[in-house]
Amino acid sequence: MPQQNERKTLLKAQQGELDAVLMYHALADAVKEKKDAETFRRLASEEGRHAAVFKALTGENLKPKKTLATLLPILYKLLGKKRLYPIIAKFEYNAVNTYAPVAANHPEVESVKNDEKRHGDTVLGLL
Ligand SMILES: [Fe+2]
């Protein structure tokens, strides 16, 4: 991947991970089942670790955006978990594809990539 494109990807990844921390915490507060809440809190903390991995690569301090954290609890109410969780899982699986070329240059991203696959499986496992 050319260096400029890779930097863009890394910054986008860092932002996405930061936003996901807030998103999973907000979801944890919104969901009915205790197991779901506990799972989302665990995922939030793992996304926090991911953000730190990307921060170390970009050297930038980014601020989390609240958009997804606001939207997802609303979607949970509107769609219910049976329709929402597969959408969340799809985001996680998409991240696997986005991170694969980055992991080729930065071995520390490999475990991040693998976590996203597991996150997708975990979220689907709540259904
Ligand atoms: Fe992540």
- Return the domain boundaries, the chain: 3-125
Are residues 63 and 73 in contact, defined by beta-carbon separation less than 8 angstroms?
no
In angstroms, what is the span from residue 53 Cα to ligand 1's centroid? 10
Ligand 1 centroid–CA 17 distance in Å is: 5
Reply yes or no on whether the pLDDT at 42 is more than 70. Answer: yes
Q: What pLDDT, on the 0 to 100 scale, is given for residue 3? A: 79
Question: If you measure from the C-alpha of residue 13 to the centroid of ligand 1, how many angstroms do you get, rounded to a whole number?
Answer: 8
CA of 33 to the centre of ligand 1 (A): 23
Question: What residues have CB less than 8 Å from 100, skipping those under 6 apart?
Answer: 113
Q: Compute the radius of gyration of the chain from its Cα atoms.
A: 14
> Token digits for 82?
């049976």
Residue tagged 């219910």 (tokens): 80
Q: How far is the CA of 32 from the centre of ligand 1 (A)?
A: 23
For 57-110, write each residue's pLDDT tens digit. 999 999 999 999 999 999 999 999 999 999 999 999 999 999 999 999 999 999
1 has a pLDDT exceeding 70: no
pLDDT score for 113: 97
CA atoms within 13 A on the CB side of 108: 10
Q: Which of 32, 61, 47 is nearest to 126 (CA)?
A: 32
Average of per-residue pLDDT values in the chain: 96
For 108, the 3-state DSSP assignment is: helix
CATH fold for domain 3-125: Ferritin (1.20.1260)
Return d(Cα 48, Cα 42) in angstroms, integer: 10
Query: pLDDT-based confidence at 4, cuts 50/70/90?
Result: confident
